[in-house]
């Protein structure tokens, strides 16, 4: 597997890299049909973002368009596929960051928004704030005329049963570590990072959080620096995994800081935190992203991470397991 | 002013440093009586934390006890002194981090909790999570039997009038930049950082946010890495200021990363982000903190910051303006 793409030195080549969650994803629990469904949806999401980039669109537009495809799919734990809380509701988080301006937008614990990444974008572009939480964020989305969705839009019997089973076991569970009845629906947080033809980097992340979560728990996804970070000077990163560990280790900004202050490459910096720091403290998960030259890295310390990238030439590669 | 204290090399000396918000705090708008009130409250808070530390208590206990004193005072924009939202309610944020374990707790947009820093501590110690937001966080506090407070506890006519005046001006306002009728009540976020006799560093921050804020806006205070960070290897930091800029620049973790990856001193790293990076992008505010040797730094780029520290010997110094 090529985890690094070296671009030519001439002009900025566009690149887009995505993830659909990391976790205990094992080939023996998968069917061919499910594998194909994931590969196809990752490719569709990459193609949508690529079309934005190749037509001179911004990296922020590409990231948003790509994540919307994944939010609209029941395959991932974000948007439509968001898992149920302890109360049988859904609570979604998302964030987006523009590496040119360092502007950012985030929403946490929203319940009525069809595409949380679009709400995060609206916060970035149409408010003076970075982060809106709870009912206030839903209210903001409504005021901005964003598409809302009813509880039935988010309902599936499988997700509801998973929540009930975990309640019976009296525990919460990370979406991507769920071993549900089918044994083959490893769902996860989604994220995208792009560099556009002007060399601007953007990153975004969206999630439905943990099955059976309570008390308005937010993970790293809505936290700028932990779940999402972008800076044209260094890199763009989107994380997925055990959010609490990702917050404590400020994972995405740590990678940027290793590059800025420690002269590490993006590949070395991202591998260092995922396979060294986080692994030592039990922080399961991974990141995807790219640096200012379009070099891609996608390290993870779990058995699998849905992921892929598309290059300037439109070459798509998607992966599920370690290779 | 001594902004650096060098400890002897023998054994760990305890040190505690605090802030009560940075902003447009000007001597010409102050009365002697108000100045004295602030100095006295800062000294009281420092003394309470020092008593914990000198009796071999943990830095986390000291930080919590210190912040509670400031939350219980109407002088600061946290706890009792929290400013009003657009709806005439209060929404408070707080976070705390233990530099030995990197454990952390945070709550955002809570409305019923008397001491938000205690709720953040409970999240750290008695949940598997780092961050709880909105109604869920209030629910958690209630379940943990934390002291709650009714809206009347938080009400003052002065704060209510400030909110109404800003509504009339159709704007939101940072607490610490408020020029209210009295012209001399510059209130702000509160924070504390301590190192205990075992050499463990902890940091905490608590705020009522922006007067007239809407949509569940959260600033940097509940964001680990932006508003609060602690790591025995490097430093402990608590921030106060224009929260959006502090989030985008991941201010507190940036200081730690400059030290870890760039070999900067705590003094240089903290001054670099406050007086260089943040100043360039209009990010008003400051930080307080200390490094693993107990060296204190308290940089700010506004006209004033309520701040002070207490040393092993019990020597207290408190400040308001640039000196």
- Is the pLDDT at A2 greater than 80? The verdict is no
Q: Does A261 lie at the interface with B, CB-CB under 8 angstroms? A: yes
pLDDT single digits (tens) A53-106: 999 999 999 999 999 999 999 999 999 999 999 888 999 999 999 999 999 999
Per-residue confidence (pLDDT) for residue B165, from 0 to 100: 84
CB B138 within 8 A of CB B146: no
Per-residue confidence (pLDDT) for residue A212, from 0 to 100: 85
Instruction: Please give the tally of structural domains in chain A.
Output: 1
C-alpha–C-alpha distance, residues A28 and B134, integer Å: 40
Is B148 in a helix, a strand, or coil?
strand
- Is the pLDDT at B176 greater than 90? The verdict is no
Contacts of A172 in chain B (CB under 8 A): 128
Pick from A218, A253, A260: which is nearest to B225 by CB?
A253
Per-residue confidence (pLDDT) for residue B173, from 0 to 100: 58
Could you report the predicted ipTM of this complex, rounded to two decimals?
0.92
Cα separations in angstroms, A312 against A54, A55, A201, A241: 7, 11, 15, 29
Per-residue confidence (pLDDT) for residue B186, from 0 to 100: 40
Pick from B109, B253, B261: which is nearest to A262 by CB?
B261
Least confident among A141-155, A162-176, A232-246 = A162-176
Total residues found in chain B within this entry: 323
Range of A105's domain? 4-321
Q: Do B225 and A250 touch (CB under 8 A)?
A: yes
Least confident among A21-25, A108-112, B178-182 = B178-182
Q: Which of residues 192-231 of B touch A (CB under 8 A)?
A: 214-219, 223-226, 229
pLDDT single digits (tens) A126-155: 999 999 999 999 999 999 999 999 999 999
pLDDT single digits (tens) B183-198: 333 458 999 999 999 9
Based on the residue annotation, tell me whether B189 is a catalytic residue of this protein: yes
Catalytic choice (B60, B85, B111, B189): B189
Q: Does A151 lie at the interface with B, CB-CB under 8 angstroms? A: no
Percent of chain A with pLDDT over 70: 91
CATH number, domain of A137, equals: 3.60.20.30
- Is the pLDDT at A183 greater than 50? The verdict is no
C-alpha–C-alpha distance, residues A193 and A228, integer Å: 9
Cα separations in angstroms, A146 against A66, A77, A211, B34: 17, 20, 26, 47
CB B250 within 8 A of CB A229: yes
CA–CA min distance B144, chain A (Å): 12
Nearest to A163 by CA among A82, A245, A76: A82
Q: What is the pTM of this model?
A: 0.93
C-alpha–C-alpha distance, residues A96 and A89, integer Å: 24
Mean pLDDT of chain B: 91
C-alpha–C-alpha distance, residues A200 and A292, integer Å: 8
Pick from B109, B140, B249: which is nearest to A134 by CB?
B109
Per-residue confidence (pLDDT) for residue A203, from 0 to 100: 99
Q: Which of residues 120-139 of B touch A (CB under 8 A)?
A: 127-137, 139
Reading phi first (left if > 0) and then psi (alpha if -120 to 50, else beta), residue B268 is in: alpha
- Is the pLDDT at A118 greater than 60? The verdict is yes
CB A260 within 8 A of CB A215: no
Contacts of A127 in chain B (CB under 8 A): 215
C-alpha–C-alpha distance, residues A230 and A253, integer Å: 8
Percent of chain B with pLDDT over 70: 91
C-alpha–C-alpha distance, residues A31 and A33, integer Å: 5
Position with higher pLDDT, A179 vs B78: B78
- Is the pLDDT at A177 greater than 60? The verdict is no
Per-residue confidence (pLDDT) for residue A173, from 0 to 100: 57
Q: Count of alpha carbons within 13 Å of A267, Cβ hemisphere only?
A: 9
C-alpha–C-alpha distance, residues B271 and B266, integer Å: 8
């Amino acid at each position: 597997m090529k985890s690094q793409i070296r671009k030519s030195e001439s002009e900025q080549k566009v690149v887009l890299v995505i993830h659909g969650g990391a976790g205990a994803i094992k080939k023996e629990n998968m069917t061919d049909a499910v594998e194909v469904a994931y590969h196809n949806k990752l490719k569709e999401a990459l193609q949508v973002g690529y079309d934005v980039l190749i037509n001179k669109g911004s990296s922020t537009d590409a990231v948003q368009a790509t994540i919307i495809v994944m939010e609209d799919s029941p395959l991932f734990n974000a948007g439509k596929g968001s898992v149920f809380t302890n109360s049988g509701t859904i609570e979604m988080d998302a964030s987006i960051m523009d590496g040119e301006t360092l502007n950012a937008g985030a929403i946490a614990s929203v319940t009525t928004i069809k595409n949380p990444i679009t709400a995060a974008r609206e916060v970035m572009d149409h408010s003076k704030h970075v982060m809106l939480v709870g009912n206030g964020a839903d209210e903001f989305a409504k005021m901005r005329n964003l598409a809302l969705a009813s509880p039935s839009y988010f309902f599936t019997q499988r997700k509801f049963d998973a929540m009930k089973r975990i309640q019976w076991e009296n525990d919460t569970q990370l979406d991507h570590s769920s071993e549900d009845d089918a044994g083959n629906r490893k769902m996860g947080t989604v994220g995208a990072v792009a560099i556009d033809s002007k060399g601007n980097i953007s990153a975004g992340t969206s999630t439905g959080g943990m099955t059976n979560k309570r008390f308005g728990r937010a993970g790293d996804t809505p936290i700028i620096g932990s779940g999402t970070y972008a800076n044209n000077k260094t890199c763009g990163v989107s994380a997925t995994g055990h959010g609490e560990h990702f917050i404590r280790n400020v994972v995405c900004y740590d990678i940027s800081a290793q590059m800025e202050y420690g002269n590490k490459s993006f590949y070395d910096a991202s591998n260092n935190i995922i396979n060294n720091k986080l692994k030592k403290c039990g922080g399961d998960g991974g990141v995807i992203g790219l640096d200012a030259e379009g070099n891609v890295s996608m390290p993870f310390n779990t058995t699998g991470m849905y992921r892929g990238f598309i290059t300037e030439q439109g070459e798509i590669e998607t992966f599920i397991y370690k290779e």
